[in-house]
Amino acid sequence: MDFTSLQAFVSATLLTLAIKVLAAIAFWVVGRWIIRRVVALTRAGMERGKLDATLVRYLGAILGVLLNIALVLGILGYFGVQTTSFAALLAGAGVAIGAAWSGLLGNFAAGAFMLVLRPFQVGDVVTAGGVTGTVHELGLFGTTLITLDNVMTIVGNGKIFGDTIQNYSALPVRRVDRTAQLAGGVDIAEASQRLRAALAAIPNVVSSPAPEVAVLDMNGLGPVLAVRPYTAQQHYPQVWSDTNEAILRVAREAGWPAPTPTTITRVVNG
């Protein structure tokens, strides 16, 4: 083969390869756009079907992963790679990776169980995996929470499923627990009546169950009252703050003395 023929062969080969590479890039870009559209349309259809938001996001994530794998296999097939052999290789690699990354598979399995058992939904306020916040998304391997100080936090599904889960949004109302330290000389019955009236006047405090005021403890300063209004979860921070203000306001208006330790002095005659 002379130099001219070799040059023509190399040029033709490089041109063919360049066309395939450009086509593969185009397939990837267009395929990714189509996948995003399909996932978005699928989610929209499930949302119109009134499916749970947690289920919609979880199934959408799984669909996106499967379609991306199919896209990669299609591009490899375009380059002439035997996808059946590649699939077998991928399966073998998956077993090896699964053994090394058992934690990820555990998180995936825990996410599937949570999807079935439904301990919480998107939008619920929960304590899960030691983190308290609003559920933003249940992912394949982790759950995204927005904490009370507005920090996005991702907790592994395995940790959540293996730990205690507290769902503050599961019931219609939630109790606010505060205490009021009284001086020893304050009339407990009058104090309880004043505090109940003040709690009933706080916005978003429900009438059933009725606000509770009861003696919780006794100490060296005097009686300690438990002050417990009930409210819906979305109003909990507001009622918490307003309850603190109500306790201070009632104490000031009633003229209760500040709690001070009681000192007993004994005089012993020698």
Single-letter code of the amino acid located at 88: A
- How far is 16 from 6, CA to CA, in rounded Å? 15
Clarify whether residues 95 and 8 are in a common domain. Answer: yes
pLDDT, tens only, 99-156: 545 566 777 778 878 877 888 988 999 999 999 999 998 887 889 999 999 999 999 9
Which is nearest to 131 in space by CA: 149, 108, 115?
A: 149
CATH of the domain at 147: 2.30.30.60
Measured from the Cβ of residue 41, the count of other Cβ atoms closer than 10 Å reads: 10
Clarify whether residues 150 and 225 are in a common domain. Answer: no
pLDDT score of 40: 83
Q: pLDDT-derived band of residue 263, with 50, 70 and 90 as boundaries? A: low
Q: To 5 degrees, how large is the angle CA 233–CA 141–CA 93?
A: 175
Clarify whether residues 135 and 217 are in a common domain. Answer: no
Q: 37-42: long-range contacts at Cβ-Cβ below 8 A with a sequence spacing of 24 or more?
A: 38/63, 38/67, 39/63, 39/64, 39/67
DSSP letter at 45 equals H
Average pLDDT of the chain to the nearest whole number: 82
Clarify whether residues 85 and 52 are in a common domain. Answer: yes
Boundary (domain end) residue, out of 150, 167, 184: 167
What is the tally of structural domains in the chain?
A: 3
pLDDT score of 100: 47
Q: 134-139: long-range contacts at Cβ-Cβ below 8 A with a sequence spacing of 24 or more?
A: 135/54, 137/57, 138/54, 138/57, 138/58, 138/111, 138/114, 139/57, 139/58, 139/61, 139/111
pLDDT score of 224: 95
Query: With left for phi above 0 and alpha for psi between -120 and 50, is residue 170 left, alpha or beta?
Result: alpha
Asked whether residue 113 is domain-assigned, the answer is no
DSSP letter at 201 equals T
CATH of the domain at 205: 3.30.70.100
Asked whether residue 217 is domain-assigned, the answer is yes
pLDDT, tens only, 92-110: 555 555 554 556 677 777 8
Asked whether residue 107 is domain-assigned, the answer is no
Cα-Cα end-to-end distance for the chain? 129
DSSP letter at 144 equals E
The sheet with strand 125-128 has its strands ordered as 152-156, 142-147, 131-138, 125-128, 165-167
- Strand, helix or coil at 145? strand
Per DSSP, which regions of the chain are E strands?
A: 125-128, 131-138, 142-147, 152-156, 165-167, 174-175, 178-181, 212-219, 222-228, 230-231
- pLDDT greater than 80 at residue 208: yes
Which is nearest to 67 in space by CA: 99, 42, 94, 97?
A: 42
**Range of 186's domain?**
174-254
pLDDT, tens only, 54-82: 667 777 777 787 788 787 777 777 666 66
Location of structure tokens 């920090």:
151
Clarify whether residues 65 and 19 are in a common domain. Answer: yes
CB of 1 closer than 8 Å to CB of 8: no
